[in-house]
Amino acid sequence: MHHMSRTERVDRVYLALSIADTVAAAGDSHGSRALRRVTKPLLMPTLMVRLLLGGPGVARTRPGQGALAGLALSTVGDVALLEEDDRSFVAGLSAFLTAHLAYTGAFLSMCQRLSLRRALPAVVVAGVVVPSLARRSDRMALPAALYATAISGMLAAALQVDRGTPAGRRISSGAMLFVLSDSLIGLGRFLLSGRRSPGLDAAVMATYTAGQWLIATGATSGPDPLQR
């Protein structure tokens, strides 16, 4: 009989929280909003517990430290974005921007060499998204453009990790899902003028929670090259 490990149990808790929050994100009732104030702040701390249970050395490696910092900062962003005013939106962007810098450092510490060719998808994303946001006249344009630059840099760094390894495949897939999730947020806020779309909100959370799990577990699934 197979006995679940501690990390497998935490993975199940994380999956349950992710599903509950995704369903609640699509709802528009008082109960759905109240549920999200419980589920959403618990998502990234649950992943942090999962990483720490993976081994006592995780927090001593550079990828592990970067992943834990990224998850902690993402928690701050998740809580800020529970509110819908512009001030909370900027606070959330700032927290996630810093999280992407932490992830970028983690990914680069796992690379033996850098390749411009691998980074081309991120360069394309930055070349399309950043100028379009910067041309906007509203006060959210500059913060959003800075954030888009940071997440494009994170994607570029993720694509540098060797995709011939399980860690590299998880990290690149997770980073692409994170970019997709944030692109959907931008679609709702800037192209749909903030009009609510339950399906879009659910898709944002489904791609975000899957992306974060892949990034976090990928960054801590292999040895730290700089600690060898």
Residue 107 pLDDT exceeds 90? yes
Choose the weakest-confidence range: 62-66, 81-85, 116-120, 163-167.
116-120
Other Cβ atoms less than 10 A from the Cβ of 145: the count is 19
Question: Considering the chain, what percentage of its residues have pLDDT values greater than 70?
Answer: 89
Residue 134 pLDDT > 70, yes or no? no
**pTM, full prediction:** 0.89
- Measured CA distances, 213 to 3, 12, 71 (Å): 22, 12, 10
Domain range summary for the chain, segments of one domain joined by +: 6-227
pLDDT at 225 over 50: no
CA dist list (Å): 210 to 30, 116, 144: 26, 27, 23
Render pLDDT for 182-217 as a digit per residue (tens, 0 to 9). 888 877 776 666 567 888 999 999 999 999 999 999
In sequence order, which residues have a C-beta less than 8 Å from that of residue 101 and are 6 or more positions away? 150, 153, 154
User: How many Å is the Cα radius of gyration of the chain?
Assistant: 17
Looking at residue 131, what is its pLDDT?
Answer: 67
What residue type is assigned to position 73 of the chain?
Answer: L
DSSP structure class, residue 159: T
Q: Which of 193-203 are b and which e, b meaning 16 or more Cβ less than 10 Å from the residue's Cβ?
A: eeeeeeebbbb
Please, which pLDDT band fits residue 224 given cuts at 50, 70 and 90? very low
Please state the rounded mean pLDDT for residues 89-96.
93
